[in-house]
Structure 1
Amino acid sequence: MDDDRRSRTSAGSAPTTFSNAKPKIVDPIRIECKKVAIKPTGAFLDTYTDVKLGVLFCHSTRDMYLCLNELKDKICIPYDQVTGFRIAEYKELEISLTPNFDRRFFQNGVEIKGDPSNGLLEKATSLLFIPCPFVSLNVLVSVEAAFGRYRTEIFLDIRDLDSSNIQDNNSNLNNEAIESRFDFQLNQERISYKNGAYDMVAIRDEEDWKVAKWETKHSDKAGVMDLYLY
């Protein structure tokens, strides 16, 4: 009996091993689309007029690329122009954008001045990407996770501001300083901090920054200001 068991073990498959290695992060993430709806104008791009259509999310450069004209032309939109992200019903991906968002144009990898969309993105405030049927939900979830990492990195970068600058009430710590240092566009209605009573307090203007810096200087975590971006 024991001999039979040893025989079956040696002849069978190798024993299962477990690894603590983290799954590889795919960058860029590519999504082939059958349609891109442009809101609120009602304009759209689809595979009836463009044989190949897609979008790239490049976490390493913090850019997304709308790929059109058989993927030869690209419209680059920096992550800091994105104000919202959601996976909509029917496996659709909606990206909200700042008004008059920044963008650059490329053709076969070379930056150009002409807009390959012929102005379809003018006045756009969001893009709804409708993937091809073979694109799995896991791919969309990967994009969601990538944006989560980006926001976390921005938050950690802001926390790494010079503690001496934060403690000095006369220092130039404000929305403009953060935007300039981290190449990140802040929506003034979406930045807050926690005061000494652990209440969330919105930061709207220079006076709010002065109060936030004073509270930080006299808090238990002197020199560290926790900012929250929404």
Structure 2
Amino acid sequence: MVIAPSSTLRGLISSCLKDLSFTNITPVPDIKTCIEIMETEPVAWIISPTKDAETGHVLHILRILDKNPALRATKVSIIRDGDDSTVPQAFELGALSCHKFETSREQCLAEFQSLVQRLDRFKGDTTLVAASYLGAFLLEKEEHQELKRFYNSMLQIYPNKPDILLDLAKAHFEAQEPLDARLLLQQLLLTAPEKKAQVLALSRSYMPGQTLEVEADSGIAKHFGFKTVLLLDSDQASLRQL
């Protein structure tokens, strides 16, 4: 379902979605109409502005979906408008993506192509898709401290996922915390050698001329930031040896 006060924008988005092989598209002028349809028909995907020309707000849709388990499979993509301050709250309530484009067919099509590509890249994991959009939004808004908190919370769900660690390192760089960022990049060199090219590229971008390579005998605890180690083993002899 495509929500847009402007018939031109509704037509533009609908046309782009058809180009991406979507067929069952319902354009509506406001959020109230969308909610009325949701009460009687299943809706798989809603594309909505942050707010419409009346009093409707995308948060209202997301709260309805959140409170109704039967509707939680419905995905919501947000078209950012002038006031996008509620975008982080929308993601907290389960938004899938957010998009910003002028009334250009090329830009509109590129935005939704990017969404489809992210769904493929993350193998349908909508949490990672949403995280990629929210991370980019917070970076654009220079909310560096919030960005760090966000990536640290993502690591609770996806422990030691290299891509998230890379994003967290970048957030530390942007927050003017190069030592923390460097530590993360060195950790990635040790634990995710397949990411070496990306790690070194990020290092060159933020630390030009500085060496990042980890010396083999430099002590792994230093690079992981370990302060204490807890050993669990029922064999006392093994514990003493460790």
TM range (shorter): under 0.3
Q: Determine which structure has the larger strand proportion and give its number.
A: 1
Q: Determine which structure has the larger helix proportion and give its number.
A: 2
- Give TM-score scaled by structure 2 length: 0.24
- Give TM-score scaled by structure 1 length: 0.25
> Which structure ranks higher in relative contact order (CA pairs < 8 Å, sequence separation ≥ 6)?
1
